[in-house]
Amino acid sequence: QQQVKQSPQSLIVQKGGISIINCAYENTAFDYFPWYQQFPGKGPALLIAIRPDVSEKKEGRFTISFNKSAKQFSLHIMDSQPGDSATYFCAASIGGAQKLVFGQGTRLTINP
């Protein structure tokens, strides 16, 4: 019930392509869904987040698509760049200032 399942585990995309990472959850009480980007040797950095009252949120080249009925959400990176190569984590939480439950992570590689 508390799990967030993320796929794929690794992803290779050509420069300029679209990177898509998917997550699924079971607990319908989750109401906050952030995505984090982590570079080697660094802590995760918040990329973009969404709440279940909207189906899509876009910030620059990053878009979250949210499907409440399917209990799935995904991250789309448009015009992927080599600098986007990192590990991406989806997460979910219930309410404000509560613990995050993380997906397993996706190692993204953008080939130049």
Residues lying near other proteins in the complex (CB under 8 A) are found at 34, 36, 41-46, 49, 89, 93, 96-97, 99-105
Closer by beta carbon to other proteins, 42 or else 70: 42
Task: Quote the strand ranges of 1-112, DSSP E.
Answer: 4-7, 10-14, 19-25, 33-38, 45-50, 56-59, 62-67, 72-77, 86-92, 101-102, 106-111
Tell the smallest beta-carbon distance from residue 43 to other proteins (Å).
4
- Taking the complex as a whole, how short is the minimal distance between the CB of residue 97 and other proteins, in angstroms? 4
**With respect to other proteins, which residue has the nearer C-beta, 26 or 79?**
26
d(CA 94, CA 28): 9
